[in-house]
Structure 1
Amino acid sequence: MPIDQCLSARPLAPEPANTPMPRRLVGLFACASGLSVANVYYAQPLLDQVAADFAISQAAVGGVITATQVGSVLALLLIVPLGDQMDRRSLMLMQIAALIGALFCVGMTHSPTVMLVSMLAIGLMGTAMTQGLIAYAATACLPQERGRVVGTVQGGVVIGLLLSRLAAGLIADMAGWRWVYLGAALVMVALAVTLCRSLVSQRPSTPPMPYPKLVFSMFTLLKNDRVLQIRGMLALFIFAVLSIFWSALVFLLTSPPYSFSHTTIGTFGLVGVVGALAAARAGVLADKGLGQWTTGLSLALLILAWLMLALTPWSILWLVLGVVVLDLGAQAIHVTNQSMIFSTSTGSHSRVVGCYMLFYAVGSGLGALASTTLYTLYGWTGVCALGASVSLAALVFWRLTLKATQST
């Protein structure tokens, strides 16, 4: 179906302004978000094959990941805010069309330059699609079900992220790394048709403003929205914690006495799905006014998880339990955060989620850098001490700022 016909096609789903969002539509948002974010992370287990195919060094091929992450940050600053000024349905369909083109380019090109530019575009459009879908869902549902809906959609994001590495490895082993991206492009074509037929237009409720003013208004939101500031800092802490764990895990498990293969290590992402699915319930608790209670309990779970992970050298079962508890605690806070920031903003959901995810990007980057440094110096024990310390700092920060967000 041509994109211009798709943009003018009549959607089949009714406008859910006065009724609860249908489960079918919530499931579509979760699935679409998971598939969109997966595109950004397919490259991580493929770097060795990409380096060999393009005849570039292992050090230089790290630029592939850098390109996607730069694209992600640019999306949060420059693309995601457009959702507050444009019809979100039309915007997402244009984004998915560009994403499909970028995926095909990566799968077909033999030029390193074209590949890097296309990877930047994948980071740009994959991130914009994911956050745009979350903002669309948060705006389209009833206020009293927002936590449940956002929690379910966020669960789809986490599952897509965790399974992307495993899927990429399996497809690359069977058909080569290029088919990871060619196959992803075909999946996104099917998703584009589904979204075109299922989503209604969602017009912005804010008055028009020049694009530069729209972008700079994000900094105004950060300056004035106390809930966004506090919940954003909590996001920085928790995603630093997750990055600390996942960045060092490969070094632990590829070394004796484990010496696991990369495929085996990738399956630990499946363990994290258990925690992600359980964390989706945090949105329901937030709808009931229990967001602060959920946050405190989840932060305590993060500290407990690091105590379990520190025992990994004695038994691999501690690692499995620690992954479940770590993902459960972190994702429960993430879902609660998003429910709270959406509840305190009107007409700016796209910019709010863009601001919030900037904290995520900073936390992930700092966590990865600190984790690899500590592992080199002090091994797994140093990593666990760092993770537990950051988790404790998050708990102290939450307690000190509790009164400022007591009513949310």
Structure 2
Amino acid sequence: MATGVTQPQRLVLASVCAAAVSTIYAIQPVLEAAGAELGLSLESLGWLVAAGQIGYFAGLVLLVPLGDLLNRLRLIGGLLALTAVGAAITAAAPNGVVAVVGLAVAGVFAVVVQVTVAYVAAVSPPGERGRNIGAVTSGVVIGILGVRVIAGVLGDTLGWRAVYVLLAALCAALAIIARAGLRPDVRTSGDRYAQILRSMGHLVATDRLFLGRGLITFFLFASFGTLWSGLALPLGAEPWSFGTTEIGLFGLAGLAGAVGAARAGRWADAGHAQAISGWSLLILAVSWLLIAQTGPTLVLLIAGVIVLDFAVQAVHVSSQHLLTTAHPNRASSVIGAYMAFYSLGSAFGAVTTTWAYTSWGWWASCLFGAFYALSGLVVWGLAQLVGSSRTAATTSPESVQVSQDSSPRS
């Protein structure tokens, strides 16, 4: 039964999401420094980013469904502790292979984020679900973008490994705090693990809302990953030649945009989730016109970063609201399957942006980012057309007459 989430609990849950997801994204502003120390070539740097996303994908498929079977509160604590282990492995990595393993391990267990979102959806009353999901999901965005600032500063002062030492300690501490400060959620599901895995595959094959939102999310985060996995490359090159601190500070611009979209959850509660998604995807595509401008001033680039992160957060919150509302009794497995598209999209964007940049330059990376955004918009538009045609078919005079003709007569 939904019991609500207090403000202090929202803060703890948002912090859990921020710390866990940071273990995947902290490598991005220090990508070149880490790659040089670990002996990786420029073309291989994308795999340091992709490793966490690939691990995340595995965790989404294999671990997140456990949230529909086990006490989510205990699961949150255990997954956080194991995320800390992955961060510690990365911090101590002697070479690129071990670093990739550590990042993959952290990514597998960082799916505590999705268990946390499912927990929030389960304990929230229907009228507050979007608001609470939006508040907790803001922790994800704060982690993704805020860790860039922290990693950049630590990369220039203590070295790139320091941020992973910090994240390992933070995840371990939050595992204890979450167990002490949150109440368990009660579920009555009699499903088995194998049944839940099969239901996830069934969702992809048969649920149009889920498939549409999954494809939108794939392209949404491919566009997002194109920016944040590749931005350090042009900023670290001539004419700017920024260090990790300056590159990390660009996360503040993204953070401003993401925080600006915090009301997306309230808009979704008011029934505007589909409309929010459409205009946000259009804004995302337009933002790449600004992001492509890297000289002679960075003002337009910074504006584009703010707009991009606003759009991404608005679509992401709206999608989760729609899916948890449609499937309230299996929030964990639905969110896990949905976020698999997120993980694959982020990894795809990370790999393609470094390849495009080394082959043709930043303009090519931006072209890919805009293409992914437009692809998401096309999927959204097609879903609206299909939904409208189905509604029209069920409400047409012919269908009404058929319904009347087939009704029982006295």
Q: Distance in 2 between matches of 1:22 and 1:307?
A: 41
Report the residue type matching 1:153 in the other structure: V
Equivalence for 1:340: 322
CA contact (8 A) 1:88 1:203 kept: no
* 2:10 corresponds to 1:26: yes
Cα distance in 2 for residues equivalent to 1:207 and 1:83: 13
Q: What is the one-letter code of the residue matched to 2:14?
A: A
- Whether 2:125 is the aligned partner of 1:142: answer yes
Paired with 2:160 and 2:264, the residues of 1 have a C-alpha distance of 37
Which segment is superposed worse, 68-77 or 284-293? Answer: 68-77
Distance of aligned partners of 1:249 and 1:225 in 2 relative to their CA distance in 1, 3 Å threshold: same
Q: Which amino acid aligns with 2:197?
A: V
Q: Which moved more, 1:32-41 or 1:280-289?
A: 32-41
Q: Which moved more, 1:296-305 or 1:165-174?
A: 165-174
C-alpha distance 109-311 of structure 1, shift in aligned 2 (>3 A) = closer
CA contact 1:33–1:130 (8 Å) conserved in 2: yes
AA aligned to 2:221 is F
Pairs within 5 Å for 1:220-299: 220-299=202-281
1:17 and 2:2 aligned: yes
1:48–1:58 Cα contact (<8 Å) kept: no
Distance in 2 (alpha carbons) for counterparts of 1:121 and 1:331: 26
Q: Mapping of 1:179-218 within 5 angstroms?
A: 179-209=162-192, 211-218=193-200
Pair 1:97-2:75 in alignment: no
Tell me how far apart the structure 2 counterparts of residues 364 and 249 of structure 1 sit (CA, whole Å).
Answer: 14
Whether 1:370 aligns to 2:348 is no
- After TM superposition, give the deviation of residue 280 of structure 1 in Å: 1.6
131-140 or 96-105: which moved more?
96-105
Count of residues paired in the alignment: 388
> Which segment is superposed worse, 200-209 or 82-91?
200-209
State the alpha-carbon separation in 1 of the partners of residues 19 and 387 from structure 2.
Answer: 34
- Per-residue deviation, residues 192-246 of structure 1 (Å, max 9, x unmatched): 221111111123332131x333323211122222211111111112112112223
Shift of 1:65: 4.0
| Residue 389 (1) aligns with residue 371 (2) | yes
SS in 2 for 1:132: helix
Q: Distance in 2 between matches of 1:197 and 1:149?
A: 20
1:219 matched residue in structure 2: 201
Q: For 1:379-404, what per-residue CA distance to the aligned partner results, in whole angstroms no more than 9, with x for missing partners? A: 33333333333323322321221155
Whole-angstrom CA distance in 1 between matches of 2:97 and 2:231: 31
Q: TM-score, normalised by structure 1?
A: 0.86
Name the structure 2 match of 1:166: 149
1:82 aligned residue: 66
> Does 2:398 align with 1:398?
no
1:247-293 residue CA offsets vs partner (Å, 9 max, x unmatched) = 44233223333222232122111100011111121110010001122
Query: Is 1:124 equivalent to 2:108 in the alignment?
Result: yes
* In 1, Cα distance between equivalents of 2:247 and 2:328: 42
Equivalent residue letter for 2:282: A
Tell me how far apart the structure 1 counterparts of residues 230 and 97 of structure 2 sit (CA, whole Å).
30
Structure 1 portions without partners, runs of 5+:
1-15
User: What does residue 329 of structure 1 align with?
Assistant: 311
- Equivalents in 2 of 1:103, 1:72: separation in Å? 14
Deviation at 1:334, TM superposition (A): 0.8
TM-score by length of 2: 0.85
- How many angstroms does 1:327 deviate by? 0.9
Instruction: Decide which of 113, 132, 135 is 1:152's aligned counterpart.
Output: 135
Separation in structure 2 between the aligned mates of residue 301 and residue 36 of structure 1, nearest angstrom: 28
Q: Structure 2 vs 1, CA of residues 393 and 97 (structure 1 numbering), >3 Å: closer, same or farther?
A: closer
After superposition, the Cα gap between the structure-2 partners of 1:397 and 1:96, relative to the gap in structure 1 and judged at 3 Å, is: closer
Aligned to 1:308: 290
> Quick check: 26-35 or 211-220, which moved more?
211-220
Which of 20, 32, 36 aligns to 2:20? It is 36
Q: Note the alpha carbon deviations across 1:306-360, whole angstroms, 9 max, x for none.
A: 2223444353111111111111111111111111111100321111111111111
Two-structure CA RMSD over aligned residues (Å): 2.7
1:371: Cα distance to partner?
A: 3.1
CA distance in 1, matches of 2:84, 2:163: 13
In the TM superposition, residue 361 of structure 1 has moved relative to its aligned partner by 2.0
**Identity of counterpart residues, as a percentage?**
35
What's the counterpart of residue 394 of structure 2? Answer: none
Which amino acid in the other structure matches residue 27 of structure 1? L
C-alpha change, 1:117 and 1:197, in structure 2 (3 Å) is same
